[in-house]
């Protein structure tokens, strides 16, 4: 008989501001017969306030009557949401959702304030990004990784770790307690129940319509049922997560709300979590979640987000980077990649390096068949610590190495997007190419992550930089973005040019004189462009394209090898004449040019690095390959001209040598013989010798590609890799 206004005033006087709080009171008072009168009063007030419809009131009345008579309530008298709305029962740990229609004024009056103050969410787009973050990463990601790493620490390391947390020290204390008592590292329900809660808030705000809100809630339930069999497991995980978040251990404390939900007469948590959604609802929810993560951009976020987890906050609708992140991204592109906006977005394609995948796949295949190169070289024997890594290459035989080069390229694409340099269509094209390649080489997200993890464990990294823990997390967490990507099918095109096997082999003839060319050289307009010009001018006196071509022709036809044959080889047949020449030059002052000649005469006399016994044509061949690539990068050679000179280098290598070892000895001897007399000479020679040893042995795996390539003109000795991601031969060869 009370008016709605007076009934709501009475409820407020009882500290009941919304229907969720009233539902808790009804559950609690309805447990015992002696408190049922109080429950009836609250129910009457809720009815007068307009918070419950007639069907819900009847259901509660039947239940209270059964309790008063000492009987168990009839399950058919169910006051909680039914049908599609049953999914909201999962939210009960935060606030039970009564049956009937929703209404912000009585369900969550201050929902807008809650979203703004607690979550910093002010609009629909921010809400959707947070929903996707909670499902795909959430707080559990950092907690899981910390738990794994802390378990491996010594006691002293754990104390140091906790002290370094600063204001998060309370969290560290709770996590250490969990580790010490071997508490189950399970707290994902903390993220997924809050996902359901935020979906409810979004619906009340009008930012989500009913199908959207329900689909997000079903997604949270979908993830819960993949991890937990019953509500007890859900509640335990929630308590652990809440404890870590609040910095106090809640697992041993009495939880009246939890007891009501697990064992109460009127709990909305009836049956297993899986019972709250039908198969059709799950299918619809999964389709919507994949839609929100559709497109190639989310492939980029997933790959780059392993190294930079903050990127996973940007799922859903793209958002502009803040000023600091934009500045950091631009500095990375310019300082680390040496890419400048003036080059255009398409120039980023030069960082796509298919040769890496070919090389690693070949090493894994050879390791499987015990066909890796020997570990003893003319320049030394591999250290024991590097030998241990070689033994594990065979573990990767079933995993395409495409992800090794793609991982860095994905991060570069993410930095390109953050830098906001324009050309959005060109960026989208690169992202689509990137996603298409990964979709082609990995049939499922699990295959991709397994391949990435296998190679991460083989390729040497500093322990603090290893991504192994992160990858295992993404592999095992059902909410990870990787498991919700849209696989692209049909035609695809790689982000950057793909060298043929012959081009890759020819480029590799430059050896350790420069960093390996894992991709096809492209014209550049960056800092390196100027450095290359200065280097060519200072070392070779080359100032333009015609000068470069003349020198490349010289290397092809004569080179330093001819100078040795004409000027120095005759001395090996007349040693007295050699001694006399050296003595004459040592008695007077020498010009710089004469000093170079004297140094070389001494090397002939001493047969330094076996310069008189070895064919030093490799020195010319390596320079020919190296300068051809430099000419292409400067734009002084087009691709056809570069290929012409690379073919000459291949032909010369096949004429002068039969394998990589003899080529390496010739290169080392030529480098030593024709080097200027500088104080750093011993160090330079030691560095080259070490590099040649690693190139010959293929260890570390990315030192250089000689170990995976057949020497030009030599018989094939490698086992065919198990993966399609290998470089193709550009001509048919009959054996």
DSSP per-residue string spanning 401-443: THHHHHHHHHHHHHHHHHHT-S-HHHHHHHHHHHHHHHHHH-S
- pLDDT tens for each residue of 404-459: 999 999 999 999 999 999 889 999 999 999 999 999 999 999 999 999 999 999 98
Question: Closest by alpha carbon to 498, among 201, 724, 233?
Answer: 724
- pLDDT tens for each residue of 136-178: 999 999 999 999 999 999 999 999 999 999 999 999 999 999 9
Give the pLDDT confidence score for residue 489 in this predicted structure.
Answer: 75
DSSP per-residue string spanning 547-611: HHHHHHHHHHHTHHHHHIIIIIGGGGG-HHHHHHHHHHHHTS---HHHHHHHHHHHHHHHTGGGT
Identify whether the C-beta of residue 697 lies closer than 8 Å to the C-beta of residue 646. Answer: no
Give the start-end residues of each E strand in 102-257. none
Task: Determine the Cα–Cα distance for residues 438 and 428; give it in Å rounded to an integer.
Answer: 15
Identify whether the C-beta of residue 191 lies closer than 8 Å to the C-beta of residue 135. Answer: yes
Give the pLDDT confidence score for residue 733 in this predicted structure.
Answer: 45
Asked if the model's pLDDT at residue 735 lies above 50, the reply is: no
Give the pLDDT confidence score for residue 491 in this predicted structure.
Answer: 66
Q: How confident is the model at residue 721 (pLDDT cuts 50, 70, 90)?
A: confident
Lowest mean pLDDT among 7-11, 250-254, 472-476: 250-254
Lowest mean pLDDT among 47-61, 291-305, 377-391, 688-702: 377-391
Give the pLDDT confidence score for residue 285 in this predicted structure.
Answer: 98
Three-state secondary structure string covering 115-145:
HHHHHCCCCHHHHHHHHHHHHHCHHHHHHHH
Mean pLDDT across 7-23: 93
Give the pLDDT confidence score for residue 238 in this predicted structure.
Answer: 96
Task: Determine the Cα–Cα distance for residues 45 and 500; give it in Å rounded to an integer.
Answer: 80
Q: Which residues of 159-180 are buried (b: 16+ CB within 10 A; e: fewer)?
A: eebbeeeeeeeebbebbbebbe
Q: What percent of the chain shows pLDDT beyond 90?
A: 84
Asked if the model's pLDDT at residue 254 lies above 70, the reply is: no
* DSSP H or E stretch at residue 168: none
539's tokens: 């070392």
3-state secondary structure of 80: coil
Mean pLDDT across 500-507: 96
DSSP per-residue string spanning 355-403: HHHHHHHHHHHHHHTT-PPPSEETTEE--HHHHHHHHTGGGGTTS-THH
Task: Determine the Cα–Cα distance for residues 414 and 567; give it in Å rounded to an integer.
Answer: 56
Quick one: DSSP state of residue 654?
Answer: H
Mean pLDDT across 97-107: 86
pTM of structure: 0.91
Mean pLDDT across 546-567: 96
Give the pLDDT confidence score for residue 734 in this predicted structure.
Answer: 43
Asked if the model's pLDDT at residue 10 lies above 70, the reply is: yes
Mean pLDDT across 347-363: 95
Sequence-separated (6 or more) residues with CB below 8 Å from residue 305:
137, 311, 312, 481
- What is the C-alpha R_g of the chain? 35
Asked if the model's pLDDT at residue 464 lies above 80, the reply is: no
3-state secondary structure of 159: helix
Asked if the model's pLDDT at residue 732 lies above 50, the reply is: no
Taken in order 539, 542, 544, 547, is the CA torsion positive or negative?
negative
Asked if the model's pLDDT at residue 49 lies above 70, the reply is: yes
Q: Which residues of 252-281 are buried (b: 16+ CB within 10 A; e: fewer)?
A: eeebebbebbeebebbbbeeebeebbeeeb
Mean pLDDT across 74-87: 93
- pLDDT tens for each residue of 202-231: 999 999 999 999 999 999 999 999 999 999
Identify whether the C-beta of residue 395 lies closer than 8 Å to the C-beta of residue 388. Answer: no
565's tokens: 């044959």
Mean of per-residue pLDDT scores for the chain: 93
Rounded to 5 degrees, φ, ψ at 463 are -50, -40
Asked if the model's pLDDT at residue 92 lies above 50, the reply is: yes
Task: Determine the Cα–Cα distance for residues 133 and 313; give it in Å rounded to an integer.
Answer: 6
């Amino acid at each position: 008989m009370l008016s709605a206004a007076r009934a709501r005033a009475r409820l407020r006087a009882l500290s009941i501001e919304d229907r969720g709080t009233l539902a808790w009171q009804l559950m609690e008072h309805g447990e015992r017969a002696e408190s049922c009168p109080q429950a009836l009063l609250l129910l009457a007030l809720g009815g007068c306030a307009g918070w419950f419809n007639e069907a819900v009131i009847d259901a509660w009345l039947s239940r209270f009557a059964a309790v008063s008579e000492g009987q168990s309530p009839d399950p058919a008298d169910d006051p909680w949401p039914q049908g599609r709305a049953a999914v909201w029962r999962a939210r009960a740990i935060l606030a039970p959702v009564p049956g009937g229609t929703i209404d912000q004024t009585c369900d969550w009056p201050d929902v807008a304030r809650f979203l703004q103050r607690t979550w910093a969410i002010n609009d629909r787009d921010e809400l959707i990004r947070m929903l996707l973050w909670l499902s795909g990463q959430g707080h559990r990601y950092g907690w899981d990784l910390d738990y794994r790493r802390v378990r491996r620490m010594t006691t002293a390391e754990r104390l140091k770790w906790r002290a370094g947390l600063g204001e998060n020290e309370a969290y560290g204390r709770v996590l250490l307690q969990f580790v010490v008592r071997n508490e189950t590292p399970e707290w994902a329900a903390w993220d997924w129940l809050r996902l359901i809660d935020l979906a409810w808030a979004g619906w009340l705000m009008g930012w989500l319509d009913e199908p959207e809100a329900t689909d997000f809630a079903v997604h949270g339930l979908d993830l819960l049922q993949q991890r937990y069999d019953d509500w007890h497991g859900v509640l335990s995980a929630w308590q652990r997560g809440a404890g870590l978040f609040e910095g106090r251990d809640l697992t041993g404390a009495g939880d009246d709300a939890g007891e009501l939900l697990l064992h109460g007469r009127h709990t909305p948590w009836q049956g297993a979590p899986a019972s709250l959604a039908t198969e059709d609802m799950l299918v619809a929810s999964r389709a919507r979640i994949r839609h929100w993560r559709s497109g190639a951009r989310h492939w980029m976020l997933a790959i780059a987000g392993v190294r930079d987890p903050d990127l996973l906050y940007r799922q859903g609708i793209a958002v502009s980077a803040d000023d600091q992140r934009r500045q950091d991204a631009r500095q990375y592109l310019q300082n680390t990649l040496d890419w400048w906006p003036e080059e255009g977005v398409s120039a980023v394609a030069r960082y796509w390096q298919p040769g890496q995948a070919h090389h690693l796949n070949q090493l894994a295949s050879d390791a499987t068949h015990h066909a890796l190169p020997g570990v003893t070289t003319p320049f030394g024997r591999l250290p024991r610590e590097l030998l241990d890594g070689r033994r594990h290459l065979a573990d990767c035989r079933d995993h395409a190495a495409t992800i090794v080069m793609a991982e860095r390229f994905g991060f570069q694409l993410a930095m390109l997007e953050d830098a906001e340099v324009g050309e959005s269509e060109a960026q989208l094209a690169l992202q689509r190419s990137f996603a298409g390649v990964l979709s082609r080489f990995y049939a499922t997200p699990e295959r991709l992550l397994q391949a990435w993890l296998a190679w991460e464990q083989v390729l040497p990294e500093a322990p603090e930089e290893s991504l192994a823990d992160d990858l295992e997390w993404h592999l095992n967490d059902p909410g990870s973005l990787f498991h919700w990507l849209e696989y692209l099918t049909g035609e695809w095109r790689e982000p950057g040019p793909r060298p043929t096997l012959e081009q890759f082999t020819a480029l590799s003839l430059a050896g350790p004189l420069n960093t390996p060319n894992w991709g096809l050289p492209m014209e550049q307009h960056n800092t390196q462009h100027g450095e290359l010009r200065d280097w060519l001018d200072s070392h070779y006196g080359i100032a333009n394209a015609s000068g470069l071509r003349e020198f490349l022709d010289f290397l092809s036809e004569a080179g330093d090898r001819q100078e040795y044959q004409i000027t120095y080889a005759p001395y090996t047949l007349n040693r007295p004449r050699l001694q006399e020449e050296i003595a004459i030059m040592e008695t007077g002052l020498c010009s710089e040019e004469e000093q170079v000649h004297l140094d070389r005469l001494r090397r002939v006399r001493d047969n330094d690095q076996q310069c008189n016994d070895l064919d030093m044509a490799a020195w010319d061949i390596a320079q020919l390959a190296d300068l051809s690539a430099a000419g292409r990068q400067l734009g002084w050679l087009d691709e056809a001209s570069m290929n012409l000179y690379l073919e000459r280098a291949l032909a010369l290598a096949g004429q002068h040598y039969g394998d990589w070892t003899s080529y390496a000895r010739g290169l080392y001897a030529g480098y030593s013989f024709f080097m200027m007399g500088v104080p750093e000479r011993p160090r330079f020679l030691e560095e080259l010798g070490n590099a040649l040893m690693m190139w010959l042995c293929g260890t570390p795996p990315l030192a250089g590609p000689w170990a995976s390539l057949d020497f030009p003109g030599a018989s094939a000795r490698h086992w065919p890799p198990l993966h399609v991601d290998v470089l193709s031969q550009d001509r048919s060869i009959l054996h």
